[in-house]
Amino acid sequence: MTNAFPSGCHLIQLCVKGDERGQLVAIEGTSEVPFAIARVYYVFATAPDAIRGFHAHRALNQLAVPVAGSCTMVLDDGRGRISVPLDKPAVGLTIGPMIWHEMSDFSSDCVLMVLANAAYDEGDYIRSYGEFLALART
Ligand code: TYD
């Protein structure tokens, strides 16, 4: 493990509009997210001890936001790994292309929302860690 975030990966503080009624985060256009949003998906009701991900994307950019609960994201650029706790509903983690990522430690109430800059495309996935390492190190 390392302390450095890999290229294309960083934490983003989203703007929270709060008042005595509670909190609200709005994500609009490219003002909050560093890419145009083409897709939103979210994982929830994750099984205890489940580990998700285990892939990298060739070109996709994503922003993962734990809108409820918490989980851990491991990021791997082929040279080192960093483990990032995701536990604040107004702090998202960008995941750039060619980053192997694994998600674990899901709290039972975790809802992990992911914004992406392209439609789902299985051809963009690298699901073999060996293939990922070979590509990442070239
Ligand atoms: P999968 O890639 O295994 O999820 P994770 O990376 O969280 O482990 O995706 C699970 C299933 O959902 C798989 O059949 C592909 C499908 N899927 C879509 O249809 N659209 C999407 O946007 C995503 C992310 C997955």
Confidence at residue 46, expressed as pLDDT on a 0 to 100 scale = 98
CATH code where residue 29 lies? 2.60.120.10
Confidence of residue 138 (pLDDT cuts 50, 70, 90): confident
**Is the model's pLDDT at 36 over the cut of 80?**
yes
Q: Which atom of ligand 1 is nearest to the CA of 122?
A: 15
**Residue 3 lies inside a defined structural domain of this protein:** no
Write the DSSP assignment of 52-119 as a string of letters.
EEEEEESS--EEEEEEES-EEEEEE-SS-EEEEEE--TTEEEEE-TT-EEEEE---TT-EEEEEESS-
Give tens-digit pLDDT for 53-71: 999 999 999 999 999 999 9
pTM: 0.96
Q: Which active-site residues does the annotation give?
A: 55
Confidence at residue 29, expressed as pLDDT on a 0 to 100 scale: 80
Is position 90 within any domain? yes
State if residue 81 touches ligand 1 by the CB under 6 angstroms criterion. no
Residue with CA at minimum distance from ligand 1 atom 1? 53
Task: Report if residue 5 sits inside a domain.
Answer: no
What is the percent of the chain with per-residue pLDDT over 90, rounded to a whole number?
Answer: 92
Q: Is residue 116, in this structure, part of any structural domain at all?
A: yes
- Average pLDDT value for residue range 38-50: 97
Ligand 1 pocket member 118 (CB < 6 A): no
DSSP secondary structure, 43-57, as one string: E-SPPTT--EEEEEE
pLDDT number for residue 31: 84
**Domain tally, the chain:** 1
Q: Whose CA is nearest to atom 14 of ligand 1?
A: 122
Averaged pLDDT of the chain: 96
**For a substitution probing ligand 1, which of 39, 41, 74 has the most ligand atoms within 8 Å of its CB?**
41
Q: Which domain holds residue 112?
A: 10-136
Q: Say how many Å lie between the CA of residue 90 and the centre of ligand 1.
A: 24
Asked whether residue 4 is domain-assigned, the answer is: no
The answer to the question of residue 35 being in a domain is yes
Asked, for residue 1, whether it belongs to a domain, the answer is no
Report yes or no on 106 lying in a domain: yes
